[in-house]
């Protein structure tokens, strides 16, 4: 993970990837994931997403991990919550409040012991933020630290030759390669991105349900 790249994005407020509303695909398809009230949901590379507000409002517990401390500080500020901050590893902080734990650091430094038990994963911004060379390692790490729980995964598909990521294009074949050995994979939705990406490149946002096998 290029911590300097992402930290600079947050310092300069170059956060076009941050949605100004809750992702409607989360609202529509989260029930398909099937978590009960009080379930602990893992949101990797969470930024300060409003999706966390939505999950908390629906009685979920949320645990996230994010490289940028700026993003995490803004998340808690916008929630109106003062967190307890502790050093949980040499290279990892934890911002903690009722029903909300956000680790600040590299996801690859997050262990299963630190993460604790989770019942599901919501990945809207993590897989698409990673270049192809890192994705298999990421998928393996995510499966390992979570205990292979179910996932609601949101991806983007577009002609990668037109623009450079992130966000990167992820194909169905990619998802099968990363997760097919451990999950049954179901596509729930394909939606055209209004206005396209970065200057109008046509793109499709897809939602996937990953059920452990």
Confidence category of residue 5, pLDDT binned at 50, 70, 90: low
What pTM does this model have?
0.92
- Spatial strand order of the sheet with 40-44 comes to 84-89, 92-97, 100-104, 61-66, 40-44, 120-123, 150-158, 203-212, 183-192
Q: Give the CB-side neighbour count of residue 81, counting CA atoms within 13 A.
A: 19
Note if the bond before 2 is cis, omega within 30 degrees.
no
pLDDT higher at 164 or 99: 99
What count of other Cβ atoms lies within 10 Å of the Cβ of residue 121? Answer: 21
What would the pLDDT profile of 99-124 be if each residue is shown by its tens digit? 999 999 999 999 999 999 999 999 99
Is residue 194 very low, low, confident or very high in pLDDT (cuts 50, 70, 90)?
confident
Residue 15: per-residue pLDDT = 47
DSSP 195: T
Q: What is the predicted pLDDT for the residue at 12?
A: 56
In the chain, count H helices and then E strands. Answer: 7, 9
Q: Is the pLDDT of residue 14 over 70?
A: no
- Asked whether residue 212 carries a pLDDT value surpassing 50, the answer given is yes
Show the DSSP H helices in the chain as ranges: 3-11, 24-33, 50-57, 69-79, 112-115, 132-146, 172-179
47-61 mean pLDDT: 96
Residue 19 has pLDDT above 70, yes or no: no
Distance CA 22, CA 9 (A): 21
């Amino acid at each position: 993970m290029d911590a300097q790249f992402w930290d600079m994005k947050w310092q300069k407020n170059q956060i076009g990837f941050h949605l100004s509303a809750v992702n409607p695909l989360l609202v529509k398809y989260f029930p398909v994931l099937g978590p009960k009230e009080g379930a602990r949901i893992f949101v990797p590379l969470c930024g300060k997403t409003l999706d966390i507000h939505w999950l908390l409002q629906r009685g979920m517990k949320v645990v996230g991990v994010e490289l940028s401390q700026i993003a995490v500080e803004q998340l808690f500020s916008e929630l109106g919550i003062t967190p307890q901050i502790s050093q949980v590893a040499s290279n990892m902080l934890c911002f903690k409040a009722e029903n909300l734990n956000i680790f600040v650091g590299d996801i690859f430094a997050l262990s299963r012991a630190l993460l604790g038990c989770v019942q599901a994963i919501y990945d809207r911004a993590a897989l698409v933020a990673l270049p192809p060379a890192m994705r298999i390692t990421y998928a393996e790490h995510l499966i390992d630290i979570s205990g292979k729980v179910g996932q609601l995964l949101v991806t983007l598909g577009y002609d990668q030759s037109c623009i450079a990521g992130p966000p990167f294009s992820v194909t169905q074949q990619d998802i099968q390669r990363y997760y097919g050995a451990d999950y049954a994979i179901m596509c729930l939705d394909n939606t055209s991105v209004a206005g396209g990406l970065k200057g109008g490149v046509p793109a499709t946002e897809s939602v996937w349900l990953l059920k452990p096998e």
